[in-house]
Structure 1
Amino acid sequence: MTGVVSAAGRRVRWRSTPVHLLLALTFATGVVDAVGYLRLDQVFAGNMTGNVVILGMAAVGGAGLPVLGPAVALLSFLIGAAVAGRVLRRTAAPGWNHLHTGLLAGVGLLLATTALGMAATGIGTTTFRTVMALSLALAMGVQAATARHLAVKDITTVVVTSTLTGLAADSRLGSARGQGAKRRIAVVVLIVAGAVAGAALCQVHEGLAVAIAAFTVLTVTAVGHKQVHNTPHE
């Protein structure tokens, strides 16, 4: 995408594609999900499929699986996505605008606040872990809905199932179309890299892991905002 029309009706050019920005957000999701699963009672903050499956299995009983955390995370994610959808509902044109900047800045600040909370009080109690899961999932819901509105193919920033499906289906063993293979591989690699980084940082402190995710999101926000607003109009 070399040129798009912004919500204000002006034409802008990307110096680097939004693909790179959403790939960075995918890395951040990997970090956050590692923290949720390893430190917040097996909660997925970004991958809601995992929470739904856990809740389904827990419904049978006797499996020792968590219920409160995944349920709270699922509800919080939906609320975050709904809020972002509401904010962006009148922005039909593709491309980054001030609304995307505001939403992702909010995600970054919420993650930063969560990291500070973890650093200040720890995650010793079930109540606090649930609150932290709520906060992370709310942030990921906003991020996912914002990424969805930016509509970069194969990059949802929170899940890779559809990406893996496309990669396999279009591979030489499938339809042999070979479309978007590099992008899809990058998505998978980055969410795995985020999970590895998150797990490693959790060995130091879970708050540090979330702080890295916050820094990543805020950097993406700043770069995206700067590219749009500093580009000469046509």
Structure 2
Amino acid sequence: MTLPTPSRPAPATIHLTLMLVLTFTTGIVDAVGYLGLDRVFTANMTGNVVILGMALAGGDDLPVLGPALALGGFFLGAMLGGRLVNRAPADWVRASTWAFGLTGVLATGLGLGSLVSPPEEGTIWAFVVTGVLALAMGIQAAAARRLAVKDVTTVVVTSTLTGLAADSRLAGGTGASWPRRLLAVALILAGAGVGAVLLAVGGASGIGVGMLVAGVLSLVVTIVGHVIHR
């Protein structure tokens, strides 16, 4: 008598789960950046563009260099991520492992470095952390884009919220995909809350702890994704 082979989760389900975990880490990273690195978003570039625009127009006490560095770092990271994954199939391949792994290594390294020497607003080290962390998030965004998990980009939820509302039954839609959309919004919200708590509890060390948590989770996602897809 042969035992039935256990069914394995579909690749789409695996990809969705892993990208939702990375969405949670994005909330942590952005909370750490905004609250600990002088109001800078290292993943949500829309926020940086708005802050930079207001600052250049003379907004009081708004940073210029930090958001500019984050925008540049993210752009370079997205190009690097694109170079890694664009020639590969739209699936989890070796290039995906390299891209997500690089994101995790950079975030983890910055977290450890920030524990040893906490970055202070306006210092060279703080600007280095901002630029490199944004570069890491750009790599992640490009790799996630190649996987093309619907409604889960890992770095923004504006389009996800739009789809959640516009496709809802209240708006005359079918309500399709609402669980994943709601989860994506909830997880980035939860991640931001965790990042804020880590900063409040850890003080100067909270910046490093937040990046370390995000980096380790990114590495876990990378390992799980690579092992499953082998």
**TM-score, normalization by structure 1:** 0.90
Q: Of 51, 55, 60, which residue of structure 2 is paired with 1:58?
A: 55
Alpha carbons 1:43, 1:73 under 8 Å: kept: yes
Within-5 A mapping of 1:87-166: 87-91=84-88, 93-124=89-120, 126=122, 127-166=124-163
Residue 8 of structure 1 corresponds to none
Compared with structure 1, are the counterparts of its residues 97 and 36 closer, same or farther at alpha carbon in structure 2 (3 Å cutoff)?
same
Gaps of 5+ in 1: 1-12, 230-234
Residue 169 of structure 2 corresponds to 172
Compared with structure 1, are the counterparts of its residues 176 and 149 closer, same or farther at alpha carbon in structure 2 (3 Å cutoff)?
same
Residue 226 of structure 2 corresponds to 225
Compared with structure 1, are the counterparts of its residues 200 and 47 closer, same or farther at alpha carbon in structure 2 (3 Å cutoff)?
same
Alpha carbons 2:26, 2:214 under 8 Å: kept: yes
CA–CA separation in structure 2 for the residues paired with 1:16 and 1:188: 18
Compared with structure 1, are the counterparts of its residues 94 and 15 closer, same or farther at alpha carbon in structure 2 (3 Å cutoff)?
closer
Compared with structure 1, are the counterparts of its residues 15 and 86 closer, same or farther at alpha carbon in structure 2 (3 Å cutoff)?
closer
Identity %, equivalent residues: 50
Alpha carbons 2:37, 2:120 under 8 Å: kept: no
Cα offsets for 1:69-120 (capped at 9, x unmatched): 00000000000000111122211x2210110001111110000110011111
As a proportion of its length, which structure holds more helix? Answer: 2
Q: For residue 176 of structure 1, report the CA deviation from its aligned partner.
A: 2.4
Within-5 A mapping of 1:69-80: 69-80=66-77
**TM-score, normalization by structure 2:** 0.91
Equivalent residues, number: 217
Q: Superposition RMSD on alpha carbons, in Å? A: 1.4
Q: For residue 141 of structure 1, report the CA deviation from its aligned partner.
A: 0.2
CA–CA separation in structure 1 for the residues paired with 2:59 and 2:91: 48
Within-5 A mapping of 1:23-34: 23-34=20-31
Compared with structure 1, are the counterparts of its residues 51 and 210 closer, same or farther at alpha carbon in structure 2 (3 Å cutoff)?
same
Alpha carbons 2:78, 2:141 under 8 Å: kept: yes
Structure 2 residue matching 1:178: 3-state secondary structure: coil
Gaps of 5+ in 2: 1-9
